[in-house]
Amino acid sequence: MKRFEQAEVMGKLPEQFFAKLVKKVSHYVEQGYDVINLGQGNPDQPTPQHIVDALKEGADRADFHKYSPFRGHGFLKQAAADFYKREYGVTLDPEKEVAILFGGKVGLVELSQCYLNQGDVALVPDPGYPDYWSGVAMAGAKMETMPLRKENDFLPKYDELPETVLNKAKLMFLNYPNNPTAGVATESFFKETVELANKHDILVCHDFAYGAIGFDGQKPVSFLQVEGAKDVGIEIYTLSKTYNMAGWRVGFAVGNESVIESINLLQDHFYVSLFGAVQHAAAEALNGSQQCVDELVDTYESRRNAFIGRLNENGWNVESPKGSFFCWLPVPEGYTSETFADYLLEKAHVVVAPGIGFGSEGDRYVRAGLLTSEERLIEAADRITKLF
C-alpha cells in the first residue's frame, strides 16, 4: 500500500499518553481480572430522561432534517445566554457573544488556530488538559507552562512568570474546577487574571467544563462573573459533565464578541452546525429543570466522601477535592506517577491515570475519577491501601 507523506504539523502533535494506558488496562481485562477503572474521565450516569425525550421529539421534526444554520439555532444561543444569566448573573448577547461548539474540546483546539501564528506563545497550566497542547502544536506556536502546586491551591502564581514570557504571550488557558488537580478558583484570582491580561494584552480562555461540580455547598465561580472578564477573554462550557451528555458533543463559547466572531468564522469553514434535534435537546437541558444537576453533584460528593474517607481511614492521608469529579492523589516515595499507576494495576487491579500525562508537574500524583459506584470506590480504596 502506498504511504503518503504527512504534513509537518502531524509530527508535532503531542503523544496520546492515555492510549498507552488503555492498552495496558485492556490486557488485564482480557485476562479475566476484575479491574476497577478510575482512570477515565467519562461520566458513568445516563443522560437525564427529559433531555433524551427532547432529542426524540426533535428527531421527528422535518425542519431539523435540513442543514442547521451555520452558526447554530438562535434558540440554543438564547438558552445559553439565559443559563448564564440565571446561574451566574452574567448578561450575554446571544447573537454576538455565544458560539455553538461540537463539544468543549473543539473550541479549545480551535482557539489556537484563530489567534496563534508560527512561533507565538501560549500559557498553559502544568498539569493541564492535554488538548491545550494539541491546539498550540497545530498552530505551530510555543507553550510556556504555569506550574500548579498544592501550596498555592493549584492556582498559577503569576509573579513567578518572567516578564519576557508575559510580554510574548498571546493566549492563556485556565480550567477551574481543575482537571486533573480538582482545584477551584476564587473571584480574587480571576480579578488578578483580568489585570494581568489587560497589562500584557493576553487573550484568556477559561475552560469551565466542570462548572456545575462544586462540593461542600460551594458553587464554582465563572470567569465571566468578574468585572472586565469579557474585555479580555471567553469561557467554554460543555454539557458533557453537567448533564451527562459526553457522547452528544455539544457545548458553547461565551464572552468577548470579537473572539466569538473568530470562532464562528473558523467553524463556517468546517461545519454546518449540529443536528437540530441535538440543539433542541441541549436547549431543554439548559432551560429545563436543574434537579438532575443537583442530584448529580450530590452523587459525586457522596462518592468523594466514601472514597476519600476510606483511603484516610485505611491510613493513606489524602485531601478531599473541592470540585470536578476527580481526586488528585500524591504518589508515595520511590515511585513516579507511571510506575505507581502500573503497580496499582498489576497488584490491585485498580486503574488510575498517571499525573505525568498532564505535564511534568503532575508526576508526583495520580488522578482517580469518581465515576463508578460507592461500593466499587470503597473496594478500590481497600485494594490500594492493602499494598501499603
pTM of this structure: 0.96
- Nearest-10 crossing angle of helices 104-115, 131-138: 30
Which one of 239, 263, 287 terminates a domain?
287
Question: How large is the average pLDDT for residues 130-148?
Answer: 94
pLDDT of 11 higher than 90: no
Domain identity same for 300 and 245: no
Going by the DSSP 8-state scheme, the letter that residue 66 receives in this structure is: S
Q: Domain span at residue 346?
A: 8-46+291-385
- pLDDT for residue 25: 86
Q: Could you tell me which residue, 1 or 82, shows the higher pLDDT?
A: 82
Q: What cell does 35 get?
A: 479491574
CATH number where 27 lies = 3.90.1150.10
Domain identity same for 122 and 240: yes
Question: How large is the average pLDDT for residues 266-270?
Answer: 94
Which among 165, 160, 162, 104 has a CA at the least distance from the CA of 135? 104
Helix, strand and coil percent figures for the chain, each rounded to 5: 50, 15, 35
Contacts of 331 (CB under 8 A, 6+ apart): 337, 340, 355, 363, 364, 365, 366
DSSP 3-state of 39: coil
Domain identity same for 30 and 66: no
* Ramachandran area for residue 79 (φ above 0: left; ψ -120 to 50: alpha; else beta): alpha
Q: What cell does 60 get?
A: 421527528
DSSP 3-state of 47: coil
Q: What cell does 286 get?
A: 439548559
- Give the count of alpha carbons within 13 A of 163, CB side only: 1
Question: How large is the average pLDDT for residues 115-134?
Answer: 95
Burial 320-357 (b: 16+ CB within 10 A, else e): bbbbbbbbbbbbeeebebbebbebbbeebbbbbbbbbb
Which one of 287, 319, 338 terminates a domain?
287
- β-pair partners for 295: none
Domain identity same for 188 and 321: no
Domain identity same for 345 and 204: no
CB of 122 closer than 8 Å to CB of 116: yes
CB of 208 closer than 8 Å to CB of 225: no
Domain identity same for 350 and 209: no
Average model confidence (pLDDT) across the chain: 95
- pLDDT for residue 18: 76
The total number of structural domains that make up the chain: 2
Which one of 255, 287, 319 terminates a domain?
287
